[in-house]
């Protein structure tokens, strides 16, 4: 075969793995476009906002996706095929973390099967940590076939055609001069002789080997075959029959490879060496057994086809080529090979034929396809084929790893429950509750989901959680409250006052005994993880390990199920609420007899893991669930607040994670360099906070709003605001808010807007700008 030169450009170095376990705030912002930690836990609008902020979506693309204008309309579809009556839709997801030939990729995927997108992103993150994928490809040639019959002597016909090779090539290329001008066209010809299956005369087949550049090329190759057919007849004296391209594109081969250190394979109670050897053994079976190979290769095409559909390519042609290629030689076999190198690392490679296109009318007919190409960075056809090969290898790795560890069903459980809930007719209001009940019951069946839907049909959707506990179905759930800080962020870390209030949103948790190890399950965030040692620094799994050790439960097998009723990583105290909910659930199930002070102290230890130097205000509000004036110390000063009337707020979500740990560290570094300057700012925030206490107790919302506005200026001076935060603040003030400011650590996250006349206008303005908004009140 031809050599396989790499076509990717080395634009960025490999990134280290980031922690995707649940926590309120990420410890650092990823530097690479393909690294979007926690992306799967965001709402759709938040994902689009994040992609826009990273420059992966243009403003026009963001507007189209937000409004739904990217959808294929029936009138457009009617121009594409015959007898159109409607348009079907399939989910479009993003494969994240891909590093291919040193270049970052966000890979659009069109697929309806659960877990494929998550599995690909996880595999790409693992491979990224060891240098990413390496790919290479041959010149992408498409074969056109001209069948000649009725020949007196097939050997002489073959010789005659080859002798006039240049004449045939020149004629074919004259039919598409623009393709030749772009560096493509017929590169060579070959002639094959086939014996007729019924013993009749031989057939001679002339092959045109055509470089179609970035086009898929089916129509132009067919035109070339039609054009040279009369010349072939004149040269051989035979008659032409078929004149058409071949979908066996074995002259457009692509190869991808990856090396994964053995230690990176360890996890979920499995030794890395065992996982490596299991993957190799599973692949060995697919190399000799066609029954296993068919399923093995189908898994590869789960990824390849999803990219093909997203980019408007002919997935049927790709399937035909790949399976024909797998069947070459003595039998049908696996397209991948997994082995170990001299260092004991797992080495994977794939080789398959992929002839794709990135230009042409059929690709531009669907508006979503154009957006997907831009998300990929508008690659050429050869680069796109190499991305597909890397995706195929990643998908194969994920499937094999699942099969040799927990089994393929373990990873599918949560996503399968979501599909079943949807099929059972769960409304958006009850959807998450149906999923959680299915998982809790352990019986993920359509009939079961239909019973749950019928049961919930007359009930209200999940709303406010009562202080401490809440009953759902037959289970009693423990709760931890989210919070907003009205004034005092960051200054509270340095001994000043802050005013905080609980949100009518909470995180709930339930614990029950399990058979095999402790498992953390958070369906709404797509988390289903076994407790493993050691947990990554800063993750909630590290906090959970600490809790189990402190409570004497480290050796007990437990199933910890969590239901968040609030957005995560938005500066709303999610990490503290999660810790309090889990602590209370453990206390209830294991009869530990913890009081509020003990719960709060344990949650504070978890906050130290999540944020480094927390003030203690988040875990205090999460535990006690009431508004308070707070000042850290030994002991902390805590003054409960009784409000005369409810306080009407709108919470605007920026779509970017609130990086509390990073913001606290940044402010601390600035304070160490200029202590007097920053102490003065903290003092000014403290004065504002004490004025705000008076306004709050007098229910003077005009004064309180003005103080919030001034405080936002001070927080901006601390450099903890962001472009999205400032835009949300401005939108709120322009549409009737008395005051608006960020809440929490900053760097992203959320804005609170005080709306004495009601928050509908403010919330609508935020949503119209592409943000999420929640109307809440407390008091």
Structure tokens at 511: 């614990």
**Given 112, 113, 271, 512, which residue is catalytic?**
113
Do residues 141 and 209 lie in contact, with contact meaning Cβ atoms separated by under 8 Å? yes
Does 298 participate in catalysis according to the annotation?
Answer: yes
**Given 412, 481, 497, 624, which residue is catalytic?**
412
**Given 156, 194, 239, 298, which residue is catalytic?**
298
Dist CA 555 CA 435 (whole Å):
29
Dist CA 440 CA 100 (whole Å):
40
Does 82 participate in catalysis according to the annotation?
Answer: no
| pTM, two decimal places | 0.61
Q: 752 pairs with which residues across the strands?
A: 651, 741
Structure tokens at 639: 């003054």
**Nearest alpha-carbon partner for 449 in 475, 412, 423:** 423
Q: What is the pLDDT at residue 365?
A: 72
Q: Each residue of 118-130: b (16+ CB within 10 Å) or e?
A: bbbbbbbbbbbbb
Cα distances (angstroms) measured from residue 534 to each of 125, 266, 512, 544, 546: 19, 11, 23, 12, 11
Q: What is the pLDDT at residue 618?
A: 86
- How do 750-754 and 647-653 pair as beta strands? antiparallel
Dist CA 550 CA 543 (whole Å):
11
Does 412 participate in catalysis according to the annotation?
Answer: yes
CA dihedral (67, 69, 71, 74) in degrees, to 10, reads: 130
**Given 24, 211, 314, 351, which residue is catalytic?**
314
Alpha helices of 268-407 — where are they, by DSSP H? Answer: 272-288, 290-310, 315-326, 361-364, 367-375, 381-404
Does 314 participate in catalysis according to the annotation?
Answer: yes
Q: What is the pLDDT at residue 364?
A: 67
Q: Mean pLDDT of residues grouped by 10 in the chain (779 residues)? A: 48 33 38 76 83 87 83 79 80 93 94 86 92 95 95 94 96 92 94 87 95 91 96 95 95 96 81 89 91 94 95 94 93 95 95 92 76 93 96 95 69 66 81 78 74 70 40 65 89 91 84 83 73 69 86 88 78 87 93 92 87 81 88 86 86 77 83 92 94 91 94 90 90 93 85 91 88 80
């Amino acid at each position: 075969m031809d050599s396989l030169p790499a076509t990717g450009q080395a634009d960025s170095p490999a990134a280290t793995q980031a922690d995707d376990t649940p926590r309120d705030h990420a410890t650092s912002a990823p530097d690479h476009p393909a690294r979007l930690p926690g992306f799967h836990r965001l709402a759709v609008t938040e994902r689009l906002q994040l992609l826009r902020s990273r420059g992966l979506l243009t403003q026009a693309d963001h507007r189209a996706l937000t409004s739904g204008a990217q959808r294929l309309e029936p009138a457009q579809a009617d121009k594409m095929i015959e007898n159109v009556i409607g348009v079907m839709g399939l989910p479009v997801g993003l494969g994240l973390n891909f590093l291919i030939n040193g270049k970052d990729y966000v890979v659009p995927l069109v697929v309806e099967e659960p877990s494929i997108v998550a599995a690909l992103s996880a595999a790409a993150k693992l491979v990224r940590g060891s240098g990413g994928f390496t790919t290479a490809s041959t010149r992408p040639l498409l074969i056109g076939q001209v069948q000649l019959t009725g020949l007196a002597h097939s050997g002489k016909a073959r010789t005659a055609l080859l002798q006039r090779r240049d004449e045939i090539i020149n004629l074919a290329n004259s039919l598409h001069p623009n393709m030749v001008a772009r560096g493509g066209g017929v590169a060579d010809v070959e002639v094959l002789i086939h014996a007729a299956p019924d013993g009749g005369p031989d057939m001679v087949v002339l092959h045109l080997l055509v470089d179609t550049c970035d086009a898929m090329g089916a129509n132009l190759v067919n035109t070339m075959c039609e054009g040279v057919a009369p010349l072939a007849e004149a040269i051989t004296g035979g008659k032409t029959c078929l004149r058409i391209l071949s979908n066996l594109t074995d002259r457009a081969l692509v190869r991808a490879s990856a090396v994964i250190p053995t230690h990176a394979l360890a996890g979920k109670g499995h030794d890395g060496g065992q996982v490596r050897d299991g993957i190799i053994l599973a692949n060995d079976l697919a190399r000799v057994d066609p029954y296993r190979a068919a399923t093995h290769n189908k898994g590869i095409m789960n990824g390849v086809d999803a990219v093909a559909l997203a980019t408007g390519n002919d997935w049927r042609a790709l399937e035909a080529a790949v399976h024909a290629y797998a069947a070459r030689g003595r039998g049908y076999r696996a397209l991948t090979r997994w082995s170990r190198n001299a260092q004991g690392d797992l080495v994977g490679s794939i080789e398959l034929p992929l002839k794709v296109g990135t230009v042409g009318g059929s690709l531009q007919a669907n508006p979503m396809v154009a957006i997907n190409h831009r998300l990929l960075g508008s690659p050429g056809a050869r680069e796109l084929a190499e991305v597909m090969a890397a995706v195929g290898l990643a998908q194969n790795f994920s499937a094999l790893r699942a099969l040799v560890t927990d089994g393929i069903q373990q990873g599918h459980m949560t996503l399968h429950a979501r599909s079943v809930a949807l099929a059972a007719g769960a409304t958006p209001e009850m959807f998450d509750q149906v999923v959680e009940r299915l998982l809790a019951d352990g019986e993920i069946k359509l009939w079961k989901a239909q019973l749950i839907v019928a049961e919930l049909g007359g009930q209200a959707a999940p709303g406010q959680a009562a202080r401490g506990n809440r009953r759902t179905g037959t289970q009693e759930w423990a709760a931890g409250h989210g919070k907003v800080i009205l004034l005092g962020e960051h200054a509270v870390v340095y001994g000043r006052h802050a005013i905080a209030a609980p949100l009518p949103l909470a995180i709930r948790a339930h614990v029950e005994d399990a058979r095999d190890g402790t498992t953390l399950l958070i369906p709404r965030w797509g988390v289903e993880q076994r407790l493993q040692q050691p947990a990554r620094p800063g993750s909630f799994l590290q906090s959970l390990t600490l809790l189990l050790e402190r409570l004497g439960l480290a050796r007990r097998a437990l199933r910890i199920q969590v239901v968040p009723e609030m957005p995560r990583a938005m500066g709303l105290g999610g990490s503290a609420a999660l810790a309090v909910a889990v602590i209370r659930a453990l206390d209830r199930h294991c009869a530990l007899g913890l009081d509020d002070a003990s719960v709060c102290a344990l949650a504070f230890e978890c906050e130290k893991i999540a944020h480094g130097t927390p003030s203690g205000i988040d875990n205090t509000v999460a535990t006690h669930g009431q508004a308070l004036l707070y000042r850290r110390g030994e002991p902390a000063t805590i003054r409960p607040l009784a409000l005369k009337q409810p306080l009407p707020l709108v919470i605007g979500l920026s779509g970017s994670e609130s990086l509390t740990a990073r913001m606290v560290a940044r402010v601390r570094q600035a304070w160490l360099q200029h202590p007097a300057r920053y102490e003065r700012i903290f003092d000014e925030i403290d004065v504002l906070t004490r004025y705000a206490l008076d306004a709050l107790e007098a229910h003077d919302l005009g004064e309180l709003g003005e103080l919030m506005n001034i405080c936002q200026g001070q927080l901006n001076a601390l450099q903890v605001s962001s472009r999205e935060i400032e835009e949300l603040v401005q939108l709120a003030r322009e549409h009737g808010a008395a005051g608006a400011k960020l809440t929490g650590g900053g760097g992203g996250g959320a804005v609170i807007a005080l709306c004495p006349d009601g928050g509908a206008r403010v919330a609508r303005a935020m949503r119209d700008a592409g943000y999420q908004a929640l109307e809440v009140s407390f008091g």
